[in-house]
Structure 1
């Protein structure tokens, strides 16, 4: 991870069985919304075996790419959170002060880069 990249790990912790079909449809909608993001380097969705928990691994080129992404998923993210029992977001990377402040209310934790290869 370079010093400009930002990684986000979003977890939808409790997807009721009756919400799985609607949740996966909203996932497809989210993927469609971000397909043109040039600064989105990774956007992979993982579900556990019983499809009750979903983890999204996201990696962005820089803070500007995160801002673009947040705008693109603004409509679908509340629905995903509602269907998935909430959303917990961890951010890994050094954020500019304005983006840190903007994301702080939406995320569980923001971890600045200390060292890396």
Structure 2
């Protein structure tokens, strides 16, 4: 795995190393892994958009525990590793980035995986997106 191009880490414990067990076992925390396959010629645009998003996250998000962006060795794909205090913090994060995300998402094709406990209403709100949901084992 490559080092993050830059990162924001309010809580370096990570999802599986915290004293209370895994993040999912504690119930409220949400973790996400998103992959953006970059279109040819879009690396510079992506890098600029990513820097803008990271600055916004570090200055406005209140419930983001982790926000890292990693770039593949051949610079064809970016992987986002994200952690949120709860579903409300994820919603706040998306609202804070609403005006910046189109520039980033316009540079490639996104898929995402969300880990945690989600209501049916929350899942429906993501209908039509390339998002898969994972719940912890009971």
The TM-score, its normalising length taken from structure 2, stands at 0.74
Whether 2:112 is the aligned partner of 1:110: answer no
Residue 87 of structure 1, CA deviation: 0.8
Work out whether 1:59 is the aligned partner of 2:89.
Answer: no
Q: Which of 85, 89, 92 is the aligned partner of 2:112?
A: 89
More helix by share: 1
Q: 5+ unaligned residues in a row in structure 1: which ranges?
A: none
Deviation track 1:44-103 (CA, whole Å, cap 9, x = no partner) reads: 0000111110000000010110110111121222221211x2111111111133322222
Number of aligned pairs?
Answer: 113
Higher relative contact order at CA 8 Å, sep ≥6: structure 1 or structure 2?
1
Partner of 2:103: 79
The offset of 1:42, in angstroms, is 0.3
Alpha carbon RMSD of aligned pairs, Å? 1.5
- Mapped contact 1:13–1:87 kept (Cα < 8 A): yes
User: In the alignment, what sits opposite 2:29?
Assistant: 5
Moved over 6 A (4+): none
The structure 1 residue matched to 2:73, chosen from 40, 45, 49, is 49
Unaligned runs of 5+ residues in structure 2 are 1-22
Larger radius of gyration between Structure 1 and Structure 2:
2
Q: Name the TM-score, length of structure 1 as normaliser.
A: 0.87
- 2:45 aligned with 1:25, yes or no? no
Q: Which has the higher strand share?
A: 2
